[in-house]
Amino acid sequence: MHKPILLIILILFTILSGCSTKKSLPIEDLPSNNNEWHPKEVSPSSFEIEQIVKLANNGMVIDSPFTVFESTIQQVRSDWGEPDQIDEVAGGSYATYKERNTVFGFNQDGEIYDVRFYNNNLRELTIEEVEHEIGQPIDIRKNNQESIYVYELKNEIELKMIFPNDTKRLGHISIYNPALAKAEQYVLDIKGNSNQLSDKAWKNMQNWRDQIKKFTVEHKNVYLNGPNKKRVALTFDDGPDDIITPAIINILNDYKVKGNFFFLGTNVKLHTDVVRKAYESGHLVLSHSLNHIELSKLGKGEVEKEIVSAGEEIQSVIGKKPAIIRPPYGETNEQVVSVSEEQGYSIVLWSIDTLDWSQRESTNIVDNVVKNLRNGDIILMHSDSDKTETEKALPLMIEALEKMDFEIVNLEDLLNIKAYQ
């Protein structure tokens, strides 16, 4: 072929190719597919912000299945095990899982209202990038250490982006549900009556009940009752002995329900087989101090001795040190709370007093429970040697509770606290 002809063919091919090729549209102008923005090219930082917001709208953070809508700390414990630490704050508690880079805030009912996520990769994100991707926050809260950028998401939950002031890069994020965080404390009045008390004794008891309820509200580590759910706990003080306590254990075992025994350290030493039987039957073996004396009237060193010695006696039998204590007579104060916390204990009192130590008839013991029963009640009984009527009342009480569709659980499950250290 002659060169002029070949040149003409090449020119024509180039012109035709150019006419048949459309100019590409900018990516931003491409139609979306089902309202999703897949084609848009984004930087790694932008992609992480998009992921954070998407999860946050579902109440979640990265690498966690738990939400601030319906998850509980008990579910977290079941799936992830015990947290590395729990910090008590006004109105709630925070459980830290270091290896998971996650912290859960939960209320008295165990409902998770705050999920915080920490990860070094978050530090790649700057304030400018966050504002560019999701806009201006509804609020910026500042202190000496950090700036908190608050974004309101669907269902009125908040996404908080926390920037340390020294770096202005993202330190951690928080998904926060104000409705659960601000839930009022569910603290019950203490119920139970006896016709064997004098007017003066009854008045004193009523005054104490009012005062201890107020004290409980003000102290996170002190409990009168559990959450507002159809569950209750049966508790027994002052044992063990070699007659009534074993009988109570057998009744609980026969009905396949769990009990909570607050044993005196001095009695533990005398009846190790009974303590071991209670523990091996699946009931909780907890502390009622070493001797049955008012801890609130002792000096700090004496309070420490009562708590530590009782724990050591129990540990010597079952191999575990309890993490729950009930002070004798329910008497407590700031010092008792402080020492208990230092020694790893929560204080658990009661919301129904059967008064099996006063009006001892089995009918009155059962009536004090059935006629006063509410969600989350902690029921006080005794298991020392003169409580034959309590032994008689217990089967009737269990049957009545089950007929009313109440679940009988141990204190660890009722309160979402550790039974042992």
Give the confidence band of 153 by pLDDT, cuts at 50, 70, 90: very high
Same domain, 221 and 348: yes
Residue 414 buriedness (CB in 10 A; 0-12 / 13-18 / 19+)? buried
Q: What is the pLDDT of residue 413?
A: 92
Q: What is the pLDDT of residue 184?
A: 67
Q: Active site includes 382? A: yes
Report percent pLDDT > 70 for the chain: 87
Same domain, 272 and 133: no
Mean pLDDT of 221-249: 95
- The answer to whether 174 touches 116, Cβ cutoff 8 Å, is yes
Give the confidence band of 389 by pLDDT, cuts at 50, 70, 90: very high
Same domain, 219 and 176: no
State which of 154, 181, 208 marks the end of a domain. 181
Whether the CA torsion 299, 301, 306, 311 is positive or negative: it is positive
Domain count across the chain: 2
**Distance (Å, whole) CA 79 – CA 354:** 37
Q: Does the structure show a pLDDT above 60 at 148?
A: yes
Per residue in 320-373, pLDDT (tens digit) is 999 999 999 999 999 999 999 999 999 999 999 999 999 999 999 999 999 999
Asked if residue 315 belongs to a domain, the reply is: yes
Same domain, 223 and 139: no
Q: What is the pLDDT of residue 13?
A: 38
- What is the SS3 assignment for 125? coil
Same domain, 143 and 207: no
Same domain, 171 and 54: yes
Q: How high does pLDDT run on average in the chain? A: 88
User: How much is the CA Rg of the chain, to the nearest whole Å?
Assistant: 31
Q: How far apart are the first and last CA of the chain?
A: 96
Same domain, 247 and 371: yes
Give the confidence band of 179 by pLDDT, cuts at 50, 70, 90: confident
Which CATH number do you get for residue 237?
Answer: 3.20.20.370
Same domain, 149 and 263: no
Asked if residue 259 belongs to a domain, the reply is: yes
Asked if residue 12 belongs to a domain, the reply is: no
Q: What is the pLDDT of residue 409?
A: 97
Asked if residue 23 belongs to a domain, the reply is: no
Mean pLDDT of 400-411: 97
Asked if residue 26 belongs to a domain, the reply is: no
Q: Does the structure show a pLDDT above 90 at 181?
A: no
Q: Does the structure show a pLDDT above 90 at 217?
A: no
Same domain, 129 and 158: yes
Domain holding 172, by residue range, is 44-181
Q: What strands lie across the sheet with 92-97, from one edge to the other? A: 85-89, 92-97, 102-106, 112-118, 172-176, 158-164, 146-152, 139-142
Whether the CA torsion 107, 110, 111, 117 is positive or negative: it is positive
Catalytic pick among 237, 241, 353, 356: 237
Q: What is the pLDDT of residue 94?
A: 92
Q: Which of 99-113, 234-248, 303-317, 359-373 has the lowest mean pLDDT?
A: 99-113
Q: Active site includes 367? A: no
Catalytic pick among 172, 271, 288, 382: 382
Helix (H), strand (E) counts: the chain: 14, 17
Give the confidence band of 201 by pLDDT, cuts at 50, 70, 90: very high
Which CATH number do you get for residue 71?
Answer: 3.40.33.10
Same domain, 250 and 398: yes
